[in-house]
Amino acid sequence: MAAGAFRPQYDFAARRVQNLADACCYVAMHLLAANDAAVLAFTWLQRDFAAERFVRTFAARPKEQMASLAVQCAFEHVEHTCMADAWWGELKGPMRAALLERVRRANSLAYRRSPRCLSYRIHYADWPVADVR
């Protein structure tokens, strides 16, 4: 589970979405469990092209990458993230360390995100994707 709003700097295609020193858009991410499945919703308050572009780059990724990208995004950007003990326990040590490193860096004032921070590199989850809207 993850729920929170953030200001994306880069999208899932490693392109700059916005300069965080300027007035910025916020994107909210809601990753929830429902009926033995995962549900992911990205929302924003107004018609904002930067936020929409960020979300569209996620929707354009191959479906088999979406669950892992959602996990990465949650650990990179969302303050309120929790997970099932069974899922966390099944991850290999280096995978858990990589996710925890995302949280540690994101909480550092010195952290400068890479354009590839949300690119697919590690397979964290294989939740099937039924629909993208």
Quote the pTM value: 0.89
Percent of the chain with pLDDT over 70: 100
What DSSP assignment string belongs to 50-63?
HHHHHHHHHHTS-H
Q: What single-letter DSSP state applies at residue 128?
A: P
Q: What pLDDT is stored for residue 110 in this prediction?
A: 84
Residue 96 burial (10 A CB sphere; 0-12, 13-18, 19+): middle
Q: What pLDDT is stored for residue 90 in this prediction?
A: 93
- What's the average model confidence in pLDDT over 8-31? 90
Residue 42: is its pLDDT beyond 90? Answer: yes
Please, what is the angle between helix 63-77 and helix 49-59, to 10°? 130
How far CA 61 is from CA of 33, 41, 80, 107, 114, in Å, comes to 21, 15, 24, 27, 19
| Cα–Cα distance for residue pair 120/13, rounded to 1 Å | 10
Reported confidence tier of residue 5, pLDDT bands at 50, 70, 90: very high
Reported confidence tier of residue 80, pLDDT bands at 50, 70, 90: confident
